[in-house]
Amino acid sequence: MKLRSPEKKQSFLRRVNLYKYYSQLNKLLKVPAECSDMVKPQDSETSLDLITIAFNNVHVLKHQIRKIKENVRDDNYTHIVADNSNMPEKREEIRLICENEGVMYVGIPQLENNSFIIGSKSHGVSLNWVFYQVVMKRKPRWFGFLDHDIYPIRPVSIVKTFDNQIFYGKKETRDSYWYLWPGFSFFEFDFLADIKVDFSPSKIKDTYLDTGGALWYSLYSKLNDSDFTFAAELRITLDKLGYDYPETVEFIDDSWFHSMNASLWKDASDYSDAIDDILTKKDLKLI
């Protein structure tokens, strides 16, 4: 599979930057997963792959693994950690945690000379590699992507949330365009198997769509968002929950907690003690 930008009109500088990005992405897409056993096709009609994109943060991943084991009620799911960490020592820590917890681990190959592929671009490259080198080979009935700082805090069934839809997740809207935020997005595999899947960030005219936005061209633009149900979200500052921090966290469908900023993409206080406390509460009351 060779991907190219779906954008229709590009300035010269934009065209150059997209060429550099997609050249690196397509180079990576040729690299297979190191563990051949994990990419064997799934037999069951009820198989579900939950795929976490990890990045340098061991603390939140430990919580997520524990909470998924505790609260995901689907019978035939596989939790896979796809590691995009750029620090070798963190990769080793994450690999050992997965090994000890019985969670599948795959290291996402690192590109050379990739200093310009950071942030959303790095996330898009990771998602595309996982889709083409892991999901396309495993062929689960359903699959979903999770950020590493999202945790189920109550019993949940991912399959039931589909409710006969082809996808489910948190909708992002930019101007008149919409797409699923890939940090909390679930898909029916067969529906995506025959289209050009690209989780890269993208632009439509002058509107920037973050990671996952390139799917607007091949998928979302052909659908009416009013025909689908999306996740409900509540953003709230930690001080409203009784903690001495002004930072914002998020609750999704009243069943998932998103502690946010685990990849340190913005300056903020270290509020990991508040995260720890929230994740130990049995009956969290939202204001």
Q: What is the pLDDT of residues 252-264, one digit of tens each?
A: 999 999 998 765 5
Contact 126, 118 (CB under 8 A): no
Q: Which residue has the higher pLDDT, 136 or 34?
A: 136
Q: Where in the chain is the domain with CATH 3.90.550?
A: 12-31+43-231
Per-residue pLDDT band at 285 (split at 50, 70, 90): low
pLDDT score, position 287:
52
pLDDT score, position 164:
86
**For residue 235, pLDDT beyond 70:** yes
Which residues, 6 or more positions from 143, have their beta carbon under 8 angstroms from its beta carbon?
48, 49, 50, 51, 135, 186, 187, 189
- Longest Cα–Cα distance of the chain, Å, equals 55
pTM: 0.94
- The β-bridge partners of 256 are 152, 252
Segment 220-231, tens digit of pLDDT: 999 999 999 999
Segment 181-221, tens digit of pLDDT: 999 999 999 999 889 999 999 999 899 999 999 999 999 99
Contact 158, 50 (CB under 8 A): yes
Tell me the percentage of the chain whose pLDDT exceeds 90: 78
Contact 142, 189 (CB under 8 A): yes
Contact 199, 214 (CB under 8 A): yes
CA–CA gap between residue 256 and residue 70 (Å, rounded): 13
The mean of the pLDDT values for the chain is 91
Segment 62-104, tens digit of pLDDT: 999 999 999 999 999 999 999 999 999 999 999 999 999 999 9
Fold entry, domain 12-31+43-231: Spore Coat Polysaccharide Biosynthesis Protein SpsA; Chain A (3.90.550)
pLDDT score, position 10:
85
CA–CA gap between residue 213 and residue 16 (Å, rounded): 19
Contact 34, 106 (CB under 8 A): yes
Per-residue pLDDT band at 37 (split at 50, 70, 90): low
